[in-house]
Structure 1
């Protein structure tokens, strides 16, 4: 009882939910008693939280991070549109940029759907946003897997390059068709078993217990993608160690490994591993708060990391952006255009 927090509430028949409006605790909990005072007559109850559910700081981090991510993703997609013709001259570049553009697009749509999911928006809208988030995030993870598998294929089968038609066909199946089937089947299963597909307060999937609840139609596919991407990252690192640095040049090899991990971790969505740790850790564990903040920061700012990885860390994209900037600030003859030149003319 020392670790619970009481809430005096009444049943709001109109909203079909508990509400604390007009109700308050008039005396602190004394042993096993809680004294409430309400200004109206209806059905009353005392709700107990196992811990402090206030997460104002995490909410601020989430909204700031998602705002920054959305802006970065919009800028990134605009840059990709401008430099697309110049950076996809080889099949490998086409595969990579196609995957990253899909990842960025559906991460952007998922973030927007998340921000739009406010409490009290209505059941139909809440259901629509739940389906959108479920679908958009699954498509995002599916394209992450397409990118990682393509990278491993290119590393292992150096002399058997992946044909464009084959990549686009299988990527479309994995990236679009499979997520649509997963979302559709999970909804139909919920209807068939007469279980809730979504939570009307959170506008997200339902967790009942282990392997029960619609949330597993998201968790299990994401877990499979993350395992595949971890394996891909290990293959990349092992290949890099074997082929890049000569004997005695361990420093360069370490630098290369660190660079690969930093660049591929956000693109492969490996920061979501912390989310699975949150499902395992007990809320009383000191590491739970650390993991909670780490998960919130890393994944709300994922759009920023993707922008840095796909734009600033890509030399071809960086060079093309610089060319575009220089072409806007200089004339065809190489002289800088200015208002003075216009006046002289």
Structure 2
């Protein structure tokens, strides 16, 4: 079985996975307890599916009783440039690093399926019979981050995301559940120490305590999962972030060991998404939105939610040149877009700047 594990790790690397480990499929009591507390306190916001399938999410065997082992895997998407570089360029939109390239769901799942097929065939060749496998990447009731920690890929940091000594905070996680009993790895050891960088960096104070995230205050949640108007208290703090937020990830000191993910060409940023002009994004209709974000994870939030986010950024920009577009969007048929446009128009009246904007890097 040890040889199978070695060969499996080699095949995972060949398929593009930068991190590999194996965890038991039994329940992790600490992770399950954290999940229950988080849900009980309502910190999942409107993400009702987290609560509806919590019994499946608690452990791999809760979802699939026949599972015996979990192959934990990670693909690096470490950026080559500073994710915070656009903070001082309010005429540009900030898109989270992970969403600037191809949709990771497609890329990671394709590789997971290939690795799962390899494992099934390898088990047959070794006389282990027919085994069962299931693959998951962020679309099923699976706790990828605790599983990644249990498999030794890293540890759940104070920002609640997985941190790796080799890849920092920049890993897409996937898992293969299998009925095969594989030798497991030691769980990742917490190496955050006394560092509070991620906690201090959060613009909306979404961390009530280390290792706890209140999604209702998180810009990633607000710009992606939240469907209604953005609460007033968070609008100014959003700045020019229109899809996700990298702040807590970007400041992690462990990122200094991460190599940029040039080897995974699918995750290289599309030029038009690195520093897009707010003026161009505000002009998108539904057809234009779908064309621009074809093959991107951004497409799933739809044009209306996306333009809502862009309007908040426009209101924060102080850019008088955006007023005409904002005024047009006050008549948008979507009431959430129209409300955001009303707010942006008022904000621009209060915040309009007379000095020129700094050049974009």
**Do the two structures share a fold, i.e. TM-score over 0.5?**
no
TM-score class, shorter-chain normalisation, is under 0.3
The structure with higher relative contact order (CA 8 Å, sep 6+) is: 2
The structure with more helix, counted as a fraction of residues: 1
Q: TM-score, normalised by structure 2?
A: 0.26
Provide TM-score, normalisation by structure 1. Answer: 0.27
